[in-house]
Amino acid sequence: MVPFFPSFIKQDYFTAHKQHVLDIALGGTTVYIRTVDSANQLKLFSMGCGLLGQIGDGSTLNKCSPVDISAMFDSAVVDVAAGGYHALAFTESGKVYGWGKKSKA
């Protein structure tokens, strides 16, 4: 099998916005895409199901196009991991952020 870029992520969006995709994390029904731009700025985008706040933009709406959520962090995200309905991000400053489903399991 030959690797391919998933069409639902819309690679042309990142090309048009001069973003180079570094890595992708899949959290159940939400996708997190870490990019770097031509000025070497790291960005974090998300898209998909947002019913439980897992997009990370403060809403509970589904997003069919990538949403830049980089501003929610104190510094650039260097790593992101995702579970079923939540995500965690590790920033350059050493902080860990979490968002999504907040119920105790």
Q: How confident is the model at residue 88 (pLDDT cuts 50, 70, 90)?
A: very high
**Dihedrals φ, ψ of 97, to 5°?**
-115, 145
For residue 56, which of 35, 86, 81 has the smallest C-alpha distance? 86
CB 55 within 8 A of CB 66: no
Place of tokens 């830049």: 68
DSSP string, 56-103: SSS----EEEEEE-GGGSSS-EEEEEE-SSEEEEEETTS-EEEEE---
pLDDT of residue 47 exceeding 70? yes
Answer whether 0.85 is exceeded by the pTM: yes
pLDDT of residue 72 exceeding 70? yes
The full set of domain ranges for the chain reads 8-99
